[in-house]
Amino acid sequence: MSTFTVSTRHAERHTTIVSVAGQLDAHTASDLEQAIQTQVLANNVRLVIDFAQLDYISSAGLGVFMVFIEQVRSMGGDIKLAAMQPKVHMVFDLLGFHVLFDMYPTVDAAIGAFPEIAL
């Protein structure tokens, strides 16, 4: 019933862009969870979630970010949220998630927020 797709790509500054589209709810949250889990296991912990195509998010969808944030940060990475539609942004805002997560108007802004890695 609910349509949801998730795709990942690597971007500059060793970031990984996780693009979500459609409706993120209890039925589709596990898809996202799996996608992020894969990246974390591959040690890709500089994550930018691209919300541009996401129409709806439920509590279960929000829970996914909560699950990973501490682990990702302890590994020296972060989950940055980007390009939210106003309605989705309002949900994050109401819940106070903006306190926990950095939110950016665009994906590029989010990428830019990651510091350069000195190799």
Q: Indicate the residue among 52 and 62 with the shorter CB distance to another protein.
A: 62
Smaller CB separation from another protein, 11 or 69: 69
Give the dihedral sign, CA 89/94/99/100. negative
Calculate the CA 92 to chain-centre distance. Answer: 12
- Say whether residue 96 binds another protein (CB under 8 A): yes
Instruction: Report d(CA 13, CA 1) in Å as an integer.
Output: 37
Q: Please report how close the Cβ of residue 112 comes to another protein at its closest, in angstroms.
A: 25
State how far the Cα of 37 lies from the Cα of 29, in Å rounded to an integer.
12
In whole angstroms, what is the distance from residue 75 CA to residue 46 CA? Answer: 9
What mask of x and - would describe binding to another protein in positions 59 to 88, judged by CB under 8 A?
xx-xxx-xx--x------------------
Interface residues toward another protein, by CB under 8 A: 26, 59-60, 62-64, 66-67, 70, 94-97, 99-100
